[in-house]
Amino acid sequence: MAIKFIAIQAVFLLAAGHLYAQQVYKSIDKNGRVTYSEVPPLPGSENKLTVESASSGSLPYALQQVVSRYPVTLYTTADCGSCINARLMLTQRGVPFNERTVSSNEDIEAYKKLSGDTSMPLVTIASQQLKGYEETEWTKYLDAAGYPKSSTLPRNYRNPEATSLTPKKAAEKAEKEASEKPASTRAARPAAAPQEQGNNPAGIKF
């Protein structure tokens, strides 16, 4: 009986040790560099420990290292079938990514400066840009970056919500337009005039 009790104790101790070893700490130094480690920052260190570090839904340590070196951002627009396929591919493979949507004129201008044209979708892996969705090519670059070939994400992990490429400018423009309109006309919004194709080479409809 005593031997059985000792054996059970040993199993629990090993399990506890394994859980402790899996704890990963994310910290940011004074230069803004992100570091992932199994050891927390030393007391008095200038490194800031983020709230994410203690989350049970945090990424596996190996994946955190890849994400910190080769972050992935997906650029999409509405009514784009290839964008849907690209998003699905990244999600099914378990690649953490941020999504930026291109819809307003400000978004289009910012996107053209970023990519040089208006083709969609675009994915950036660190500084590498891949234009247009080609599963074989994307797979090759994700493999080279070190992303797992199949998902290792926690079950409760969710990618951040997609946001506008220029959210600040869009909000400022809407606020300015609202303040400039007379009170009697703010409720009634006139229909937008058709946009000339020459000013919108992507053919995006608003």
Residue spans of the domains in the chain: they are 23-58, 70-150+158-167
Check residue 168 and give its pLDDT: 75
How would residue 11 be classed by pLDDT, with cut points 50, 70 and 90? very low
Stronger pLDDT, 19 or 57, i.e. the higher one? 57
For range 174-181, the mean pLDDT = 63
Check residue 197 and give its pLDDT: 43
Check residue 110 and give its pLDDT: 96
pLDDT of 49 higher than 70:
no
Max CA separation in the chain (angstroms): 86
For range 128-133, the mean pLDDT = 96
Count of CA atoms in the C-beta half-sphere (13 A) of 160: 11
Distance CA 194, CA 180 (A): 22
For range 120-136, the mean pLDDT = 96
Residue 9: Cβ-neighbour burial (10 angstroms; 0-12, 13-18, 19+): exposed
Highest mean pLDDT: which range of 17-26, 55-64, 157-166, 183-192: 157-166
pLDDT of 36 higher than 90:
no
Distance CA 138, CA 155 (A): 24
Check residue 58 and give its pLDDT: 85
pLDDT of 201 higher than 60:
no
What percentage of the chain has pLDDT greater than the value 90? 51
Mean pLDDT of the chain: 75
Distance CA 38, CA 149 (A): 24
- Architecture of the domain made up of 70-150+158-167: 3-Layer(aba) Sandwich (3.40)
What percentage of the chain has pLDDT greater than the value 70? 54
**Alpha-helical runs (H) found in 122-164:** 135-145
**Alpha-helical runs (H) found in the chain:** 2-22, 61-69, 81-93, 105-115, 135-145, 167-180
pLDDT of 131 higher than 60:
yes
